[in-house]
Every structure is written in structure tokens, then in C-alpha cells.
Amino acid sequence: MLDRFGRPVKSIRVSVTERCNLACFYCHREGEWHIHREEMSPEEIERILKIARELDIRKVKFTGGEPLVREDFVDIVARAAKYMDKDISLTTNGTLLKNFAEDLKKVGVRRVNVSLDTLDRRKYERITGRDSLNDVIDGVYAAMNAGMIPVKLNVVVLRGINDDELENMIYFSADTGAILQLIELEVPLERENSEFFKKYHVDLSDFERYISKMAEKVEYNELHRRKRYSLKINDKRATVEFVRSMHNTSFCMNCTRIRLTSDGKLKPCLLRNDNLVDLLTPLRKGASDDELKKLFKQAILLREPYWR
């Protein structure tokens, strides 16, 4: 289905919990700023994905909070696999991934993004509040060994914290075979002039230019139409992508995703909370598939490019 701007909606990003075992100081919490403890059951998530599939949405990315803190997460993925036949992925902080990678792959997870902002143990603790760097690195290797392809490393670049580590991260990408995704800090428009944003935001355009000159090959990531740079490092290969969404009109125009909050509301945009459409309350009150589909369509029609 197309939104009012002619953009097809092809994927859904489902937050399964707002609970997290880390406390990254910069986290946007997937735009869920209202505190709630309500979570959808695996059956409820399955029902919503079944409706999504009827609207030809066939890709899901699970997120949170931290999806792997949910004990029933493998069950949630197994249920999703009945409807999301084009792609199932998740974004995780990786701290628990080692224990789940094999099972997740078996039930249908194709690929994974692991958040890894630094390779320095003390910095990792400073950013996340926990000394878990080694667990995350084990998780990255476990995902590779389980055959999740690609494994992407999400690195939010933060001024004065990890902006001196980008080269190291490129070497790590070459060593592991994971794709490096360098992400600019993102905030809603009203926080752009905040001290926080000014202090930590790094504009990655110069670094992207530098990498583009060194790259042996440039491809396009078909999902987001971003450039993907391939660099030769000794006899290995590192792959680097940049996510620069602030004021990026083409980022928004190419957005084909709708979100579902962990308390069951459709969310047309990460950076907005004024146009949510509650699915879970009607679902719990016995709404029919047709009624839920109508609400889904309503949310799709509320989608607007944030940056334009």
C-alpha cells in the first residue's frame, strides 16, 4: 500500500519491549518516550503481523528496548516467520546474542544488527552503563557462526567518545566480516539546538568522502539506497555504510517502513509521537481482522516525510 506521498510500505519495525539491560546515554528508545510496561503477547504480535502481511508487508525487523530480554523472543520470531517471508531481522545490543544465535537462525532470523559503539571496554561501560563488551563480541562471532548474513555493527559516532576509533572499527569489520554501519546521532528537530546534540553530534560527511576515495568498490544497499563502500585491508575486506538521517530528505523519501511500539501502537515515524494509532486496545476488545486492517491503513495514510 502507498502512503499519501507515493511511498510503498514494505516493512515493519516491531518493538517487543521497552525493557533493556543497558542504559546507553544517547538512546532515542525508538521514539518511545512515554513510560509503559504493557507488552504484546507472542499471539498478539502474530495477529498484527498477519494483518500486515495482508497489506503486503513481508519484512519485519525486531527491536526494543532489548528484544533478547524477552524470554519468549524465539517463539515470537517463529510466529513471525509464518507471514514475513521476505526478511526477518533484529537489532540487538548483542549482550545475550551468544545464547540465542543458533535458535534464532533456526526459526527464521536471516540477519542481525549488533550495536557496538566502541572496542574499548572502559568506554563501552561509560556509554552503556555495563561492562559487557566481551559478551557483545562473543555475540557477533556467534551470529556469524550461525550463518546470519550479513551481521551489521551499528556504531553511533559520538564526539569525544568514539570518534577516534573509526579506523579501528574498520579493521574489526575486516577481521570479522561484519558490515560496519556508522550512524550519525539523531534527535527530533526540537532537540537539535540542545547542548546534548551540539556536544555529541558528529557530521560524518567528511569521513564519508575520505572513505569513498579509499574504496575499491561502491555498491548500493538496495533497502535504503545508501552507498556501501568496500575497502581492501591487507588480504581482507571491510564494508562500510553511513547512516546520516538528520535533514536528509532522500532518507525520508525512501522510507518504506512503519513501526509498532511495544505497547501495540502503529507509529508512522521514529521522530514523532503525535500520530500513533492504537491497535492493541481494539485487538484486545475483539476487533475483527477487517477492523484492524482499517486501522493499519489509517496509520499508513498518516505517514509523512519528517525531513522535507
The sign one gets for the Cα dihedral 195, 196, 200, 203 is negative
Q: Does 115 bind ligand SAM (CB under 6 A)?
A: yes
Distance CA 234, CA 20 (A): 38
> Is 158 in contact with 127 (CB distance < 8 Å)?
yes
- Helix, strand, coil distribution of the chain in percent, nearest 5: 35, 20, 40
> Is 229 in contact with 218 (CB distance < 8 Å)?
yes
Residue number with CB closer to ligand SAM (115 or 261):
115
Q: Does 64 bind ligand SAM (CB under 6 A)?
A: yes
Distance CA 155, CA 168 (A): 12
> Residue count at the site for ligand SAM (CB under 6 A)?
17
Sorted by sequence, the CB contacts under 8 Å of residue 72 that are 6+ apart come out as 42
> Is 141 in contact with 99 (CB distance < 8 Å)?
no
Q: Does 26 bind ligand SAM (CB under 6 A)?
A: yes
Site string for ligand SAM, 166-185 (x = CB under 6 A): -----------------x-x
Q: Which residues pair with 8 in a beta bridge?
A: 2
Distance CA 184, CA 167 (A): 16
Write down the least CB distance from residue 153 to ligand SAM, Å: 9
Write down the least CB distance from residue 187 to ligand SAM, Å: 6
Residue number with CB closer to ligand SAM (92 or 118):
92
Q: Tell me which stretch binds ligand SAM (CB under 6 A): 61-69, 71-79, 135-143, 252-260.
A: 61-69
Write down the least CB distance from residue 27 to ligand SAM, Å: 4
Q: Does 244 bind ligand SAM (CB under 6 A)?
A: no
Write down the least CB distance from residue 58 to ligand SAM, Å: 22
Cell of residue 146, nine digits = 550461525
Angle (nearest 5°) at CA 50 between 264 and 18: 25
Q: Which stretch of DSSP H or E encloses residue 156?
A: strand 151-157
Q: Tell me which stretch binds ligand SAM (CB under 6 A): 27-35, 249-257, 262-270, 276-284.
A: 27-35
Residue number with CB closer to ligand SAM (51 or 69):
69
Q: According to CB under 6 A, which one of 136, 137, 156, 271 is a site residue for ligand SAM?
A: 156
Q: Does 186 bind ligand SAM (CB under 6 A)?
A: yes
The residue behind cell 495514510 is: 301
Site string for ligand SAM, 93-112 (x = CB under 6 A): x-------------------
Write down the least CB distance from residue 40 to ligand SAM, Å: 16
Q: Does 154 bind ligand SAM (CB under 6 A)?
A: yes
Write down the least CB distance from residue 130 to ligand SAM, Å: 12
Q: Tell me which stretch binds ligand SAM (CB under 6 A): 87-95, 142-150, 172-180, 263-271.
A: 87-95
Q: What letter does residue 29 receive in the DSSP assignment?
A: G
Q: How far is CA 15 from the centre of its chain?
A: 10
> Is 36 in contact with 276 (CB distance < 8 Å)?
no
Nearest Cα neighbor of 20 from 74, 65, 59, 53 is: 65
Residue number with CB closer to ligand SAM (3 or 267):
267
Which residues would be at the binding site for ligand SAM (CB under 6 A)? 20, 26-28, 30, 63-64, 66, 91-93, 115, 154, 156, 183, 185-186
